[in-house]
A = this chain, B = another copy of it.
């Protein structure tokens, strides 16, 4: 099946292009980007031009930042093409609700992807937690924004989500593996004096689960979660890639695919089934943190 990639930036080149190149399901047939190109693939500057010129391309994958994404997404769905969205699926919940309804009306697939849910040990963690009672949990998601988003000012603009850009990955794993829904009780957000999105956040969720997100981590990076349950301790480390039960490595049924290859395999399966997958729970928890959270002003941040 032919697919077009829109937004040829860092994440597209690092992840989407290699995943599509290795995919047995997809052929990367066009790109849309103001500046980016992929060698040997037809490039367009405007999405409307691509949709008109290439009726043979049945699916489109968007890797734009959240704020400009909606208009492109609407154009794709109105043109009757299947649509896969990078995380988060939009800048607002209200726009994703509109996309969901539009996809349904058009009879096409909409896949709001969460790449961290495809990390190696996530399925095994979910299987282990099923039916267990969570007494307490601790999420630590601390990374260096300068390393992962060098110079990407949009991430600290209004709607850029700041530290929730990685934090929502933790929330996507959390909402996938827990045997019950969680809700937010309180939050504290640290806004750099010169920015419109938080650089750190501390969340207090139900079931005794606390989350610590920080974009200022230097040295070793941390993407860990630990849960105390009625049947022992589960730890999921390295962004969902390593599982430990009671301190000992546990393999479980680890996925052998990378995150992005697994996303594109799932997109292909959804298209074949005529189904959609739009789980907004990580985005709801994020919106809840912005709504309920108290704000602290912290020192200015410069890349």
Give A contacts to B, CB under 8 Å.
Answer: 67, 70, 91-95, 97-98, 101, 158-159, 161, 181-184, 186-187, 191, 196, 281, 284-288, 290-295
Q: How far is the CB of A93 from chain B (nearest CB, A)?
A: 5
**Chain B residues with Cβ under 8 A from A285's Cβ?**
94
A158-B293, A281-B94, A293-B158 known; A101 vs B181 contact (CB < 8 Å):
yes
Closest B residue by C-beta to A158: B294
Closest B residue by C-beta to A188: B158
Most buried by B among A97, A285, A287: A287
Sampled A-B contacts (19; CB under 8 Å) = A91-B291, A91-B292, A92-B288, A92-B291, A93-B291, A94-B182, A94-B184, A94-B281, A95-B184, A97-B181, A97-B183, A97-B281, A97-B284, A101-B181, A158-B295, A196-B295, A287-B290, A291-B291, A295-B295
**Chain B residues with Cβ under 8 A from A101's Cβ?**
181
Closest B residue by C-beta to A159: B292
Most buried by B among A161, A181, A288: A288
The answer to whether A292 and B183 touch across the interface, beta carbons within 8 angstroms, is: no
The answer to whether B294 and A92 touch across the interface, beta carbons within 8 angstroms, is: no
The answer to whether A158 and B181 touch across the interface, beta carbons within 8 angstroms, is: no
- B183, B286, B290: the one contacting A70 at CB < 8 Å is B183
Complexed CA–CA distance, A34 and B136 (Å)? 31
**Chain B residues with Cβ under 8 A from A287's Cβ?**
93, 284, 287-288, 290-291
**Chain B residues with Cβ under 8 A from A187's Cβ?**
158
- B95, B181, B183, B294: the one contacting A196 at CB < 8 Å is B294
Complexed CA–CA distance, A294 and B160 (Å)? 10
Q: How far is the CB of A29 from chain B (nearest CB, A)?
A: 30
Complexed CA–CA distance, A181 and B191 (Å)? 32
Most buried by B among A101, A158, A291, A294: A291
8 smallest CB-CB distances across A and B, nearest first, come from A92-B288, A94-B183, A158-B294, A287-B287, A95-B183, A290-B290, A290-B291, A159-B292
Complexed CA–CA distance, A293 and B159 (Å)? 7
A101-B181, A181-B101 known; A94 vs B284 contact (CB < 8 Å):
yes
Complexed CA–CA distance, A285 and B95 (Å)? 10
Closest B residue by C-beta to A205: B94
Q: How far is the CB of A231 from chain B (nearest CB, A)?
A: 24
Complexed CA–CA distance, A284 and B184 (Å)? 15
**Chain B residues with Cβ under 8 A from A186's Cβ?**
158-159
A92-B183, A183-B92, A184-B92 known; A291 vs B159 contact (CB < 8 Å):
yes
Most buried by B among A93, A184, A292: A292
Q: How far is the CB of A14 from chain B (nearest CB, A)?
A: 26
**Chain B residues with Cβ under 8 A from A182's Cβ?**
94
Complexed CA–CA distance, A187 and B98 (Å)? 19
Closest B residue by C-beta to A187: B158
